[in-house]
């Protein structure tokens, strides 16, 4: 749907997403999955407490498991289908190859030439074959269930679709972590974990999240847009059919809209009521209008509660000999944006030990 041109197909897909997949009722029905996966993540982090380690692998696994359980009910993993590790590799490759710079995207007449080399084309074709194999497994499973039971009722997001056809800035400013934990102790206390319903009362955590997305958006560019008619924007004539890319990384650092734009200042979002719904064009972490990320509400539910619990459950430190000013905030750009140099961390539990017990 992201790359589909605006038309009947796109409108139908959008209706399915908004009216069937990402309804508040359906998202709430999956809360138990998000809770279980958060507890599993916290337990894994606790197992690494006291020694330096990289968060990336744990967070990648958490994200994959959370989404696949909500989307696929975890039913396609096993020796006979595909391992979670294999799917993680496929997803990583997909982001890497789709985010690679392509000269033809910027200079159309260069599209005729294979300037990136045959290797990339070969990798993309191999990746497509692997995804098609997994796609066929899902389709066969769906058809078998539907044929076996005339009263079949979809139970996960994939069934519904088929039926319908790590922030380095915080390390350079450790005072923000202290303010966040003070808020968590005041609102939640130290006897339990943060629940999704608590997030509306955690204004400073929300401000940290917004400021992080302003300085380090999930992707430097929004999904490609296409001009459906000739128009003039800021004095520039844009022809019908022109591909338009919106650079949210630059918008988020524009001094015209942001005071001291290069500084990490969560307080700016406490002073002004700026939402993430795409109504404020100076802050578009998930896009705006028809092309806004359709599942941004689900993403925010996961991110808010996970960030809050990671800050609530642990004291965060840098390895011995490493200072805040040594932390690099350089980014690696592709389909999504992530730190160029991952930061090793040391965690120390700050709550009662019985709260860290793994799920049995």
Q: Name the token pair of 263.
A: 């500084």
Q: Name the token pair of 214.
A: 């302003």
- The set of residues, in sequence order, having a beta carbon less than 8 Å from that of 44 and lying 6+ positions away, is 58
Q: Pick from 10, 70, 21: which is nearest to 223 by CA?
A: 10
199 in a known ligand binding site? no
Rounded-to-integer distance, Cα 194 and Cα 217, Å = 25
Q: Is 172 helix (H, G, I), strand (E, B) or coil?
A: helix
Size of the chain in residues? 360
What is the separation of C-alpha 268 from the centre of its chain, rounded to a whole number of angstroms?
23
DSSP 188-257: T-SSS---GGGGGG-HHHHHHHHHHHHHS-S-SBPSPEE-SS-EEETTEEE-TT-EE--BHHHHTT-TTT
Binding residues for heme: 293
- Which residues does the annotation place in the binding site? 293
């Amino acid at each position: 749907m992201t790359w589909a041109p605006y038309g009947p197909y796109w409108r139908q897909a959008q209706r399915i997403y908004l009216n069937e997949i990402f309804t508040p009722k359906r998202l709430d029905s999956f809360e138990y999955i998000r809770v279980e996966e958060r507890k599993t993540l916290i337990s894994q982090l606790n197992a690494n407490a006291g020694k330096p380690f990289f968060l990336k692998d744990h967070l990648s696994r958490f994200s994959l498991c959370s989404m696949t359980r909500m989307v696929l009910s975890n039913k396609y993993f096993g020796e006979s289908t595909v391992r979670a590790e294999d799917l993680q590799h496929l997803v990583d490759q997909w982001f890497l190859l789709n985010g690679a710079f392509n000269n033809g995207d910027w200079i159309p007449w260069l599209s005729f030439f294979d300037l990136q080399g045959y290797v990339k084309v070969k990798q993309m074709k191999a990746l497509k074959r692997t995804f098609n194999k997994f796609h066929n497994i899902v389709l066969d499973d769906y058809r078998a269930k539907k044929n076996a039971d005339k009263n079949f009722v979809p139970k996960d997001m994939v069934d519904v679709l088929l039926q319908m056809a790590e922030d380095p800035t915080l390390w350079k400013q450790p005072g923000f972590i202290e303010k966040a934990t003070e808020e968590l102790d005041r609102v939640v206390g130290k006897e339990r974990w943060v629940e999704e319903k608590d997030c509306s009362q955690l204004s400073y955590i929300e401000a940290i999240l917004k400021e992080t997305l302003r300085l380090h958006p999930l992707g430097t560019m929004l999904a490609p847009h296409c001009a459906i008619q000739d128009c003039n924007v800021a004095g520039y004539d844009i022809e019908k059919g022109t591909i338009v890319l919106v650079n949210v990384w630059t918008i988020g650092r524009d001094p015209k809209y942001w005071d001291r734009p290069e500084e990490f200042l969560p307080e700016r979002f406490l002073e002004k009521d700026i939402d993430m719904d795409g109504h404020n064009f100076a802050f578009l972490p998930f896009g705006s209008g028809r092309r806004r990320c359709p599942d941004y509400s689900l993403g925010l539910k996961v991110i808010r509660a996970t960030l809050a619990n990671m800050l609530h459950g642990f004291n965060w430190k840098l390895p011995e000999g490493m200072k805040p000013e040594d932390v690099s905030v350089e980014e690696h750009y592709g389909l999504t944006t992530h730190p160029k140099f991952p930061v090793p961390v040391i965690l120390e539990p700050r709550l009662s030990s019985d709260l860290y017990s793994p799920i049995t």
